[in-house]
Amino acid sequence: MTVTIEHRRSAELEELIDQDAAAFRILTGDRPTGQLHLGHYFGTLRNRVRLQDLGAEVFVLIADFQVLTDRDTAERLEEYVTGMLLDYLAIGLDPARTMIFAHSAVPALNQLLLPFLSLVSVPELNRNPTVKDEIAHSRQASVSGLMLTYPVHQAADILFCKANLVPVGQDQLPHLEIARLIARRFNERYGRPVFPVPDALLSAAPLLLGTDGTKMSKSRGNTIPLSATADETARLIRGAKTDSERSISYDPERRPAVSSLVLLAALCLGRDPRDVADGLGDGGAAALKSVVTTAVNDLLAPVRARRAEYARDLGYVRQVLRDGNERANEIAAATLAEVQSALGMRY
Ligand code: TRP
């Protein structure tokens, strides 16, 4: 039910974006827990570039504090953050138009967590279905306070810059509900409209499976990273799970692994997966894999070329993040000042 309403709202929002993209300040983010992969690309990254190119103001958050929700320490942060910056730039996010910044570099954003926590109840935190699921899959023996409260921190990510639109997948909807609740409660409790109530923009994210036929995920080691070379990509696809039917079809219910490969080729080629499957006929898994490999490598060739160029100039790449952090700090300081005024905490 909620899903249907959200989808309908998202379709309306897409129309508004078409009419006047500049009316939207969009915030999205990624946890730096590994390399970005094709699932991210088709699920969210290319959508960010689209929104940027339509003229919306796009903010991209590297959510480094959020790494600590389900593990004791954030491993290889510097490597992952640099890799993400390279990927962002390589796919076409333009730092002149899109602000890229990291949680940990914006103290005033983090400070919003305190007043925001006072606006939600413990039962509300406990019933978040995404958090419940993450607790069930956590690699930690006990649940940390951050695991339970990070959706409130995520509300600070969204509200510190007064974003009005948050492109998300289904799993993030409960978090967005908390951000909306906090915005409304803050405005009501303190009698002034400090925060806009942000909308979710649900993208029709295609469900790509990993190379082992299960959910594509960094932690399962079944992804095709954007940073993989053409040879590595070919090897990963060659090793992908298929089935023994020679005839290739697009039937996600009955043949999830084969259908996901068909879908991947279709996404890269901008074609309908059924047409791609028809074209392959009785070619079997080898023909399918060869088409997928060519499609992915053709799509990624220019991305890889740009990535390699940026990788030769890491000074520039770091400066992009520093500039984004600086601007985020200015915005966060202004919002925190408003919040302190509302709370009567200006001395
Ligand atoms: N929770 C998001 C994820 O795991 C990342 C994220 C952090 C985020 N802060 C955000 C997404 C703010 C949207 C808005 O993918």
Tens-digit pLDDT profile for residues 30-89: 999 999 999 999 999 999 999 999 999 999 999 999 999 999 999 999 999 999 999 999
Ligand 1 centroid, distance to 169 Cα (angstroms) = 10
pLDDT of residue 21: 98
Tell whether the model's pLDDT for residue 257 goes beyond 70. Answer: yes
Tell whether the model's pLDDT for residue 2 goes beyond 70. Answer: no
Distance from C-alpha of 183 to C-alpha of 14, rounded to nearest angstrom: 23
Closest-CA residue, ligand 1 atom 11, reads: 29
Q: Is residue 49 classed exposed, middle or buried when 0-12, 13-18 and 19+ CB atoms within 10 A define those classes?
A: middle
Largest CA distance in the chain: 76
Distance from C-alpha of 274 to C-alpha of 129, rounded to nearest angstrom: 34
Ligand 1 centroid, distance to 300 Cα (angstroms) = 25
Ligand 1, residue 167: give the atom nearest the CA: 13
Ligand 1 centroid, distance to 193 Cα (angstroms) = 24
Listed residue (168, 122, 167) closest to 149, CA to CA: 122
Question: Which pair of tokens denotes residue 138?
Answer: 């956590």
Ligand 1 centroid, distance to 175 Cα (angstroms) = 9
Listed residue (16, 99, 82, 17) closest to 54, CA to CA: 17
335-338: long-range pairs with CB below 8 Å, 24+: 335/108, 335/112, 335/159, 335/160, 335/161, 335/162, 335/194, 336/108, 336/111, 336/112, 336/160, 338/194
Ligand 1, residue 154: give the atom nearest the CA: 9
Ligand 1, residue 169: give the atom nearest the CA: 15
The label of the residue with tokens 């790494």 reads 67
Mean pLDDT calculated for residue range 226-241: 97
pLDDT of residue 1: 47
Ligand 1, residue 27: give the atom nearest the CA: 14
C-beta of residue 182 within 8 angstroms of C-beta of residue 116: yes
C-beta of residue 159 within 8 angstroms of C-beta of residue 198: yes
Ligand 1 centroid, distance to 71 Cα (angstroms) = 17
Q: Is residue 29 classed exposed, middle or buried when 0-12, 13-18 and 19+ CB atoms within 10 A define those classes?
A: buried
Listed residue (152, 154, 160, 161) closest to 116, CA to CA: 152
Backbone angles phi, psi at 98, to 5 degrees: -120, 130
Distance from C-alpha of 266 to C-alpha of 273, rounded to nearest angstrom: 5
Ligand 1 centroid, distance to 29 Cα (angstroms) = 5
Ligand 1 centroid, distance to 66 Cα (angstroms) = 8
Q: Which of 128, 137, 172, 218 to mutate to test the pocket of ligand 1 (most atoms within 8 A of CB)?
A: 172
Buried b (16+ CB within 10 A) or exposed e, 294-329: bbbbebbeebbeebeebeeeeeebeebbeebbebbb
Q: How confident is the model over 6-23, as pLDDT tens digits? A: 889 999 999 999 999 999
Closest-CA residue, ligand 1 atom 10, reads: 29
Q: Look at the alpha carbons of 245, 37, 207, 11 in this order and tell me if their dihedral is positive or negative.
A: negative
pLDDT of residue 63: 98
Q: Which of 26, 48, 66, 177 to mutate to test the pocket of ligand 1 (most atoms within 8 A of CB)?
A: 66
Count helices and strands in the chain by DSSP H and E runs: 15, 5
Question: Which pair of tokens denotes residue 112?
Answer: 């919003």
Tell whether the model's pLDDT for residue 106 goes beyond 80. Answer: yes
The label of the residue with tokens 């740009």 reads 306
pLDDT of residue 3: 65
Backbone angles phi, psi at 30, to 5 degrees: -135, 145
Ligand 1 centroid, distance to 198 Cα (angstroms) = 14
Mean pLDDT calculated for residue range 272-279: 97
pTM of the predicted model as reported, rounded to 2 decimal places: 0.95
Ligand 1 centroid, distance to 298 Cα (angstroms) = 30
Q: How confident is the model over 140-192, as pLDDT tens digits? A: 889 999 999 999 999 999 999 999 999 998 899 999 999 999 999 999 999 99
Cα dist. 199→168, 179, 203, 267 in Å? 10, 10, 13, 27
Ligand 1 centroid, distance to 12 Cα (angstroms) = 23
State whether residue 213 is helix, strand or coil. coil
Q: How confident is the model over 183-221, as pLDDT tens digits? A: 999 999 999 999 999 999 997 777 899 999 998 988 888
Q: Which of 25, 61, 103 to mutate to test the pocket of ligand 1 (most atoms within 8 A of CB)?
A: 61
Q: Which of 175, 180, 202, 219 to mutate to test the pocket of ligand 1 (most atoms within 8 A of CB)?
A: 175
* Residues within a 6 A CB radius of ligand 1: 27-31, 61, 63, 66, 154, 157-158, 166, 168, 172
Query: Which residues sit opposite 166 in a β-bridge?
Result: 200
C-beta of residue 36 within 8 angstroms of C-beta of residue 45: yes
Mean pLDDT of the chain: 96
Question: Which pair of tokens denotes residue 173?
Answer: 């909807």
Q: How confident is the model over 276-319, as pLDDT tens digits? A: 999 999 999 999 999 999 999 999 999 999 999 999 999 999 99
The separation between CA 185 and the C-alpha centre of its own chain, rounded to angstroms, equals 26
Backbone angles phi, psi at 164, to 5 degrees: -110, 0
Distance from C-alpha of 258 to C-alpha of 317, rounded to nearest angstrom: 38
Closest-CA residue, ligand 1 atom 6, reads: 29
